[in-house]
Amino acid sequence: MSSNLTISMLIICILGFLFILWAVKKKKMLFKHALLWWSLDIVLIILLFIPGILRFIADVMGIETISNMIFLFGFIVIVGIILLLTMVVAEQKSQITTLSQEIGILENKVRGLENGNHKKTNR
């Protein structure tokens, strides 16, 4: 791998690292998600300096070209992250549902108290 490419990739990785740091600082990202991205970033940096690891894994797995293997892993990682995010969405939806229901019930109760003589529909 040419040193120019190594340097530019390193710069991208560092910028990525700093961007995550900024996002955490500005509360645009949860710390636990930042850790996930940082570990990915660090793995990339390690591979950048020891490319032999990639060759080794490719040989073990019987993949001829390293680039194919990188695409494969990249794809798996991305699908994994999307799966995680859909789970987060489901959790948030159920939280929003519960919140809306409780707000509705509370508002009904408050209106009943304000009206005082509320219908017998409330205890």
Instruction: Give 68 or 98: the residue with its C-beta nearer to another protein.
Output: 98
Number of residues interacting with another protein: please give it, by CB under 8 A.
19
Return the number of other C-beta atoms located less than 10 Å from residue 51's C-beta.
13
Instruction: Give 25 or 109: the residue with its C-beta nearer to another protein.
Output: 109
Q: Does 103 bind another protein (CB under 8 A)?
A: yes
Are 41 and 17 spatial neighbours (Cβ–Cβ below 8 Å)? yes
Q: Does 26 bind another protein (CB under 8 A)?
A: no
Q: How far apart are CA 75 and CA 79, in angstroms?
A: 6
Radius of gyration, CA atoms only, the chain: 25
Instruction: Give 16 or 112: the residue with its C-beta nearer to another protein.
Output: 112
What is the smallest separation between the CB atom of 28 and another protein, expressed in angstroms?
24
Q: How far apart are CA 36 and CA 68, in angstroms?
A: 23
Q: Which residues bind another protein (CB under 8 A)?
A: 96-97, 100-105, 107-108, 111-112, 115, 118-123
